[in-house]
Amino acid sequence: MNVEDLRNYCLSLKGVEECFPFDEQTLVFKVMGKMFCLSGLEHHPFQFNVKCHPELAIELREEYPGVRPGFHMSKTHWNTVEFDGSFDQAKAEEWILLSYNLVITGLTKKLKQDLSALS
């Protein structure tokens, strides 16, 4: 996976927008205005941050060397995922989707309705 793969996958999800709210090197993906994935464009190898259930976050960190506590994020709720060969793109997309769904779960009823109304 590279930044274009990440971008294409994230933007394929309903209600997603991309922006650079922090600086010109940090690409952020939001669903209904809430961040679920971000990537520093200057990192080599490629990496990104995603939300995760706290218990699962610990399990993933133990199982995959490329999964670490979220860099500059809540270490409880965010993971940094670095492409080191310990997992494939399908697994990374699974974690992105989990993050997306966690954010949707926390949306207000109104925002969930707005998201549902999008085509």
- Position 49: which residue type? N
Residue written as token pair 């610990």: 58
Q: Please, how many CA atoms are within 13 Å of residue 58, restricted to the half-sphere of its CB?
A: 3
Domain containing 39 equals: 3-112
In a domain, 84, yes or no: yes
In a domain, 94, yes or no: yes
| pLDDT recorded at residue 99 | 98
Residues 2-33: tens digit of each pLDDT = 999 999 999 999 999 999 999 999 999 999 99
| Mean predicted confidence (pLDDT) in 87-102 | 97
CA 45 centroid distance within chain: 17
Give the number of other Cβ atoms within 10 Å of residue 42's Cβ. 8
CATH number of the domain enclosing 67: 3.90.1150.30
Total domain count, the chain: 1
In a domain, 117, yes or no: no
In a domain, 8, yes or no: yes
Here the tokens at position 23 are 């600086």
In a domain, 118, yes or no: no
In a domain, 10, yes or no: yes
In a domain, 41, yes or no: yes
In a domain, 119, yes or no: no
More confident site: 3 or 71:
3
Q: Tell me the pTM.
A: 0.94
